[in-house]
Structure 1
Amino acid sequence: MQACSSLKGFRAILPLRAGVRAARPLRVVRVVVAQGVPDRPSGGAGRSMSSSSTPPPAEPPSPAPAKEQQAEEDYNSAAAARQQPTPVIVNVAAPSYTSSPASSVTVTNEVATSSVLSPAQIYEKAAATGAYKTQLPWWKIVLLGTVAGCYVGLGGALLLTVGPNCPGIASANPGLAKYITGAIGFPFALLQIIVCGSELFTGNTALCFAAWLEGKASIGGVLKNWVCAYAGNILGCCLMVSIFSNTGLMPQLTRGAEALAIYKTAAPFKEVFLKAICANWFVCLAVWQCLATNSFGGKFIACLGPVSAFVCIGLEHCIANIFFVPLGIACGANVTLQQFITLNLIPTTLGNIVAGTLCMATVYSLLYGALGRKITGEPKTA
């Protein structure tokens, strides 16, 4: 008899506790999300649930049949309520480079979000980034340009160590050998330049020119950035040539450096110029894609594709050539510095400028910026 009464009391406790849990109020969750850069790839996975409410104290258990029935009814009503989606209030913050106020929306269902900015947002961010670069003091631009030149030299040394020293792969599968050469070295150099912070002349041709087209920078600021970044890139590349010439590692760099120095000074002006346009088009696309994402993995993927493509194809990048050709001359290539400057560096630099200013900045200003609004007569939106 005593065991049976204990069981009846135990049965009464279970639904009663369930009813207490069901009586808790539904929670409204507040999530702060930066516009265009959400934290999760899907709305459901990106919600963070938090509540400051505390559950009501549990009532003492009672074996009374009336309370048991009431608890079951409360549990069933709460279960039905749980089928309805919990509303989520999302505060959408405006980008830091605009003056638009923050807005909020109420979401009641799963929302698919993207971790990549839209093309218009990328261009707006590119112009804002270029404006910031044009306002830096000249000595900072030179120093940051020197750092970028060193990163190019480090990546170039890795490229020369791996690709040209795989003759077996090159003879059996030349396409694969070119891809290995392109995928190793230079994508990492651009990733270091963008993530760690430095000034690369070729990418700045697009960013700073976009800032000028949008009225965010003066032409004097643009030219100051280009000249100082270019000078710093030269200093950094020459520093790395000097360092590697005295490391004892020249035997593993000689095969590729000599071949590149001869190859890059053998083509006519027109070919070098056109290859330079294509090369910096790839580089600026990589910079554009890096602006679209805030994650380190996203930036790495953004650099890997375009940069490995231009190296694999065999295009001309003026800053990379400032490392490769002088290093090849130091290794014994039958090329002079005058030949390098006149036959390669000048047409490559001009082609890189055309790609950044016309193929990237001007085109996207026509699509999403001030040049397009002048044609259509549309006012600038916030």
Structure 2
Amino acid sequence: MAYVTPAELASKMIDAGEAKIFMSTRDTLIRAFMAGAILALAAAFAVTITVNTKEPLAGALLFPVGFCMLYLLGFDLLTGVFTLAPLALLDRRPGVTVGGVLRNWGLVFVGNFAGAMLVAVFMAITFTFGFSEEPNAIGQKIGQIGESRTVGYAAHGAAGMLTLFVRAVMCNWMVSTGVVGAMMSTSVSGKVITMWMPILVFFYMGFEHSIVNMFLFPSGLMLGGNFTWGDYFIWNEIPTVLGNLVGGLTFVGATLYVTHYKTSPARVATTTVAPAAVATRSASPVLESPVPAPRQQDECLVG
């Protein structure tokens, strides 16, 4: 069958988390690098569509193409391993430690950042003809995104930081739903559909995704955005990573784990007498009627 039940899905999530923790350093870095690069290309694609059509929904509708490609190819995003790797620790799989989980997260972060940065450089070159002229309309838009989502948050102080964090939480709530949703089907079409829907929601709503931002903000700096590397890390990347961790692990990984893998005992059905019925019986006297004596059988009928 193409559909995987939630109980089977929860087991597959734990197995996937365990596999990622024990994956070799080389494979982890390569897969993370490719994931960051492909997602960055998808972000550039979506911004290009939005600028050319002047319709943000069009860009959001097509952005998930990159997400679907990278997961079908077995590459890893930080947002996904935030959700999956800790489940193997919760399930006390042999050899899984906190250090192993942190190692996986660190390697995937490095790989994602390197892949996204490479695409940021490539796209900045294409938007400026090798830095020989001013950025085109798409490059200018990317620079504006960087400004509004760094110094724009900073202008609101603590309220801006809270908003940034909550947007990051909601982002990975949706993105990790797409990650585990792909495991709900054994067909390519089923995987794509279940990934497409939550990724569309996150992108159109403007939630904060740490890997997408690894492309948007460095490229924005190269394209003349009026903010600094410090603004980027303090007022976006670091809070976004933390929010992504909370959103994916809390609202996707942990919830599926506790309700479909470590399920609570089912309630036992009990039969109770309604109080009204008891009161009625106790208030009504029982009238005893004499039991008639059995009739004597006719002797002619007795054997």
Specify the TM-score bucket, using the shorter chain as the normaliser. 0.7 to 0.9
Give the gaps of 5 or more residues in structure 1. 1-37, 39-114, 168-176, 378-382
What stretches of structure 1 move > 4 A for 4+ residues in a row?
A: none
Aligned to 1:80: none
1:214-234 per-residue CA deviation (whole Å, 9 max, x = no partner) reads: 222322221111110011000
Q: Which has the higher contact order (CA 8 A, sep 6+)?
A: 2
Normalised to the residue count of structure 1, the TM-score between the two structures is 0.63
Offset at residue 252 of structure 1 (A)? 4.7
8 Å contact from structure 2 (residues 176, 252) kept in 1:
yes
1:196 counterpart (73, 81, 103): 73
The 3-state SS of whatever aligns with 1:165 is helix
8 Å contact from structure 2 (residues 4, 186) kept in 1:
no
Aligned to 1:288: 180
Code of the aligned partner of 1:253: I
Offset at residue 256 of structure 1 (A)? 2.5
1:333-362 per-residue CA deviation (whole Å, 9 max, x = no partner) reads: 101111010001111000000012111121
1:228-262 per-residue CA deviation (whole Å, 9 max, x = no partner) reads: 00110000011111111223565252143022112
1:129-164 per-residue CA deviation (whole Å, 9 max, x = no partner) reads: 111111101222112111111111110110111012
The 3-state SS of whatever aligns with 2:136 is helix
Structure 2 CA distance, aligned partners of 1:193 and 1:349?
A: 20
Structure 2 CA distance, aligned partners of 1:123 and 1:256?
A: 41
Q: 1:306 to 1:296 in 2, by over 3 A?
A: same
- Is 2:58 the counterpart of 1:180? yes
8 Å contact from structure 1 (residues 272, 347) kept in 2:
yes
1:189-224 per-residue CA deviation (whole Å, 9 max, x = no partner) reads: 211121112121101111111221122232222111
* Number of residues of Structure 1 aligned to a counterpart in Structure 2: 252
Between structures 1 and 2, the one with greater strand share: 1
- Is 2:149 the counterpart of 1:271? no
- Is 2:122 the counterpart of 1:243? yes
Structure 1 CA distance, aligned partners of 2:227 and 2:127?
A: 22
- Is 2:113 the counterpart of 1:234? yes
Aligned to 1:320: 212
8 Å contact from structure 1 (residues 138, 224) kept in 2:
no
8 Å contact from structure 1 (residues 146, 235) kept in 2:
yes
Structure 2 CA distance, aligned partners of 1:243 and 1:178?
A: 23
Q: Percent identity?
A: 25
Between structures 1 and 2, the one with greater helix share: 2
Aligned to 1:139: 26
Give the gaps of 5 or more residues in structure 2. 129-134, 154-159, 267-303
Normalised to the residue count of structure 2, the TM-score between the two structures is 0.79
